[in-house]
Amino acid sequence: MKKLFVLVLVLSLMAFTPALAQDFPARSIETQVGYAAGGASDIIARIVAEYMSKELGQPVVVQNYAGAGGEIAYTGVATAKKDGYTLGYINAPATMSLPLNRKVNYTMDDFEFIGNVIYHENLVVVSPDGPYKTFDDLYKAVSENPGTITVGNSGAYADDHLASLKMQHETGLTFVDTMFQGTAPSLVALMGNHIDSVVCNVADIVQKEKDGQVVVLATMGGERNPLFPNAPTLTELGYDVVMGNYTTLAAPKGTPEEALTILRDALEKACTSDQYMQAAGVEANLPIQFYNAEDIAARYAAANEALVKLWADLALPTP
């Protein structure tokens, strides 16, 4: 009986410790990911979690809340307790495009940036079995036959679709946008030659391009991607199209400054360490790109402006 009493006493005292926490972090931190386990967004989150845990001395855990184009996770982060223990990944343009398209329960002002982990540009790929060997070939074919050539994307008003719309707007070409539930099925359809082209991101096709399963015709980055030395940027070709995907770790607005500083510091140390860069950049083949909180805040502001303008220019549906 006495042993039981002591056990209960100890357990009850332990139950109070979170409330007495002086040092942040005093327990595990959750990072929410708006995409399913196994995808690039999920993998980078897990690798970051591993290295951030080492810096913080507490476990960092990944939870997947897939669905609604990431909206579930974005809302989750925006409305989480502002104690620094619940974080999540937001994306540009995805997180910004949802409020422009439909009613959502968050705004871009609900987030505090911790740091950016991934950046990769959109690009245009075709099947090696098809008739297009350069972007010029594709350009010619589409301008001679507007509204007949299909371009696959990962979903209505998802980043690939937006990149495709921007490209069509700037080049004056008219493709037939074909929606899929994610990039993977669109690439399957491309490799089977059921559609003519796909707009997706670097990480989606890095290995496939190496294996010769797809050909990159053009990228939408600021400069040529060293992975695809033969693919021009659309900017080079004279079109004002720079579209890419940022994956950024964020906390809800109102999280205490001290916690934010600790998290930002830990993320920066984790993402600039050699082992992380080896594990994420080389072994997992992910397009890692660290930007600190100020840097990424500025980029998001610029991207948001550009997106609002694009929405208006193309008269895309608003809520």
Find the shortest distance in angstroms from Cβ 33 to another protein.
12
CB nearer another protein, residue 6 or residue 282:
282
CB of 98 to another protein, least distance (A): 9
Report the distance separating Cα 123 and Cα 243, nearest Å. Answer: 9
Which CB atom, from 60 or from 242, has the smaller least distance to another protein? 60
**How far, in Å, are 50, 117, 200 from residue 243 at the CA level?**
30, 17, 10
Q: How far is the CB of 71 from another protein (least distance, A)?
A: 5
Instruction: Say if residues 85 and 31 touch (Cβ distance below 8 Å).
Output: no
* Residues lying near another protein in the complex (CB under 8 A): 36-40, 42-43, 46-47, 50, 62-69, 71-72, 75, 101-105, 147-148, 150, 155-157, 176-181, 184-185, 187-189, 191-195, 206-208, 210-213, 282-285, 317
Nearest distance in Å: CB 164, another protein: 13
For the chain, where are the E strands, in sequence order?
A: 29-33, 60-64, 86-92, 111-126, 150-153, 176-179, 197-201, 215-219, 244-252, 288-292
At a CB cut-off of 8 Å and minimum separation 6, what does 132 contact? 126, 138, 141, 196, 197, 215, 217
Measured CA distances, 123 to 30, 216, 264 (Å):
32, 7, 31
Tell me the closest approach of the beta carbon of residue 226 to another protein, in angstroms: 18
d(CA 29, CA 50) in angstroms, rounded, equals 12
